[in-house]
Amino acid sequence: MIDRRKFLTTVALGTASAAFLSACGQSSSPAQTGSADNPVTITYTWWGNDDRAERTRKAIALFESKNPDIKVNGNFSDFAGYWQKRATEAAGGGLPDVMQWDLSYLRDYGQRNQLLDLGTVKVNTDAFEKSLLPSGQIRGKTYGIPTSTNAFAVYYDPAKLAALGIAEPDGSWNYKEFNAFLTEVGQKGNGTLFGGTDYTGIWWNFNIWLRQNNIQAFTDEGKLGFSKDDLKKWWNLTADLRGTGAIVGEDKATQLLPKSPFGSNVTATEVTWDNFMAGYLADSGAKELKLVPVPSDDPDNLGLFLKPSMLMVASAKTKYKDAAARFIDFMVNDPEVGQIFKTSRGVPASKTQRDGTTFEGTDKLVVDYEKSIEKYLKDAPEPPIVGFGTLESTFKRVTQDLNYGKLTVDGAVDVWFKEAEDLIKQNA
């Protein structure tokens, strides 16, 4: 006969083992391909603002209507949080099936076998410039397909300059002239409008300046190709501007996050990638924004290049390789996707998509800008070194500390170099 205690023991054991068994039972593998009645669901994640989210949703809806056997679950975040989430997911083996990717992180994940070799699935790259594809490849394997290209540029808001009575720049300027321009805006803006953000805080801008001076940022062995003196020169470029109206203070800029000062109508200019146009227009509500080349002390060498503004990648562990490949192919090649995104991801990299897209207004400005700098363009950079994302964000952080007056230029250079050398040693 079962007494009370035995009964309770049995119940407790039973409950525990049932919970344990049901936890184990969920790993049965679902079907690899779907059908219209029983579609497979793939997950897709990207970074960006509301504007991009809206466009991406439209693209996903279009994809689903053309491919009734696949459903796409979309999810997005801002750029900084994006990479922390991916790291957590990668550690747990649960990266989304398809992801928007940045060149800075391609080596970190590609070299560590987290990304699917897209050479093993069907993604059509016939319509791509052959010089662009290597930037998505590491050691002969294709981990990312560029959606589009972008180039560095100086944005300005013509209406704001007109209101201050300042002539529009034509982009044929050296650093001294550019600084003078920022200073003039700051003086006339009188505390409500600033010249721009500290342009020495952006790694890629520094990279362009290095190219202008014929210095390679990273050697082929994955070491730093520039010296402490080079970086000192760079951060000293805006030394006299910090704390004046030429550059918006960090205390202001921090509070505007996640929007940029330029998108918040606090500055008249911004030096960054040309595909930010759509985002800036949506954020600021400005009627029109224009683009001119970055300053250079050598008028024949602007140091500019076309970079894949973003890539499409798939997780190495995806169960739906075929569905993932079809979605990537669709996002990079389909002309209607081009019509949805216009230049908000950059100028479409695939000729099929580019030719199928009509560029008007500001989108035409971006396309025209990339045409206008064609003769200055050099090769796209290779995927940067492992851990580059950290170096890029440290670069920005250290410049912020410079602007807060917490670091001197010499101190900032030491901090950044220590971080870089640690990291290169770490990943050697």
Partner 1 sequence: MTQSPTLSRRAASSAPSQPRKSRRRGADARAGYTFLLPWLLGFIALTVGPMISSLYLSFTNYNLFDAPKWIGFDNYVSLFQDERFLQSVGVTMQYVVFGTPLKLAAALAIAMLLNSKRKGQGFYRSAFYAPSLIGASVSIAIVWKAMFGDSGPVDQGLSFFGINLGGWVGNPNMTMGMMILLTVWQFGAPMVIFLAGLKQIPADLYEAASMDGAGPVRKFMNITWPMLSPVIFFNLLMETIHAFQIFASAYIISNGEGGPAGSTLFYTLYLYLRGFSDFRMGYASAMAWLLVIVVGIITLIFFKTSKSWVHYSGDAK
Q: Contact positions toward partner 1, by CB under 8 A?
A: 5, 8-9, 12-13, 15-16, 19-20, 80-81, 83-84, 87-88, 90-91, 108-109, 112-114, 249-255, 257-258, 387, 389-390, 393, 397, 400-401, 404, 406, 415, 422-423, 426-427
H or E stretch covering 372: helix 361-372
Between residues 355 and 422, which has the closer beta carbon with respect to partner 1? 422
Of 233 and 397, CB closest to partner 1: 397
Query: What does the alpha-carbon distance between residue 384 and residue 324 come to, in Å, rounded to a whole number?
Result: 25
Q: Which is nearer to partner 1, 352 or 393 (CB)?
A: 393
Minimum CB distance to partner 1, residue 13 (Å): 6
- Cβ of residue 338: shortest distance to partner 1, in angstroms? 32
Nearer to partner 1, 8 or 31 (CB): 8
**Smallest gap from residue 203 Cβ to partner 1 (A):** 15
267/74 Cα distance (integer angstroms): 33
Distance, CA of 241 to CA of 182 (rounded, Å): 9
* Nearest in space to 379 (alpha carbons), one of 311, 307, 300: 307
Min separation Cβ 276 and partner 1, Å: 18
Helix, coil or strand: residue 344: strand
Q: What is the 3-state secondary structure (H, E, C) of 100-119?
A: EECHHHHHHHHCCCCECCHH
DSSP string, 57-123: HHHHHHHHHH-TTEEEEEEEE-HHHHHHHHHHHHHHT---SEEEE-GGGHHHHHTTT-B--GGGS--
Whole-angstrom CA distances from 357 to 77, 326, 338, 349 are 27, 20, 5, 12
Least Å distance, CB 405 to partner 1, is: 9
Which one, 19 or 36, has the nearer CB to partner 1? 19
Query: What's the min distance (Å) between Cβ of 400 and partner 1?
Result: 7
Q: 248 or 349: whose CB is closer to partner 1?
A: 248
| Cα 227 versus chain centre, distance | 26
